[in-house]
Copies of this chain bind each other. A is one copy, B any other.
Amino acid sequence: MQEATDPIDAPRASSLDLSADKIHVWRGDRHVLRGAGFAVKAGELLHVAGPNGTGKTTLLRVVCGLLRPEQGAVSWCGRPIDAIRAEYQAAMAYASHEAALKSDLSALENLRYSVGLKRRVGDHELRDTLGRTGVAACADLPARVLSAGQRRRVAMARVLAMRAPLWLLDEPFTNLDSKGTALMCRMLEAHLDGGGLALVVAHHALALARPIRRLELGE
């Protein structure tokens, strides 16, 4: 428990920025994203909001590079993400709608094998991180038996442990109890204070003590 916030790769931290420009995506017959765009700098958070089914998740998948838009491009530090794939992915932590846990592996093992691909990390530190998200007791239970909120907290710990400067979170408050929601907010604050960036999809206002940029989809 040496560090209170996660130190992010220092040298680049000041010059980081993420932008998307005129993104168009069709899904089946629906023109889901019609020219969405934004720009976020180090220390900033973008709150993506909008009614159900207006393309928030779709936008996040475009930003993390899982979906190629029909038009438009996403850039990281000024370069299109397709050109710097490996570097961009190393700098990014994505948490999707589902917790993305292997149900037969314990919470700790799940973290070990996913965070471990991004950076060298020991079990001790991962246990600490699980403790910080309030699921230390579940570290050795198979993910299959965890409750919905516990799974979400493990996914939260994964994002934390990756120490990535860019967080892409899809409805991270889902299934969390009130303490969990407050914890998530504190984590976001600390991340931004450390020079990180975050894109957060959420239906409710975020209770952060700083101005928040907002992208409203589906008007």
Contacts and interface: CB of A to CB of B under 8 A. Distances in A.
B204 A52 contact: no
A175 B27 contact: no
How big is the A interface, by class? 20 to 34
B147 A53 contact: yes
A79 to B, nearest CB: 31
Interface string A178-211: 1111000000000000000000000110000000
Interface string A49-69: 011110001000000000000
A128 to B, nearest CB: 19
Contacts of A50: 177
Interface stretch (A12-20, A81-89, A148-156): A148-156
Chain A at the B interface: mostly helix, strand, loop or mixed?
A: loop
A22 to B, nearest CB: 22
B147 A179 contact: no
Interface in A152-169: 152-153
Interface in A25-67: 27-28, 50-53, 57
A176 interface: yes
14 contacts: A28-B145, A50-B177, A51-B177, A51-B179, A52-B149, A52-B176, A52-B180, A53-B138, A53-B147, A53-B149, A97-B148, A174-B174, A178-B203, A181-B203
A215 to B, nearest CB: 15
Contacts of A177: 50-52, 203
A150 B54 CA distance: 10
A175 B174 contact: yes
Interface in A63-77: none
A145 B27 contact: yes
Contacts of A147: 52-53, 57
A7 B215 CA distance: 41
Nearest to A171: B175
Contacts of A153: 52
A146 interface: yes
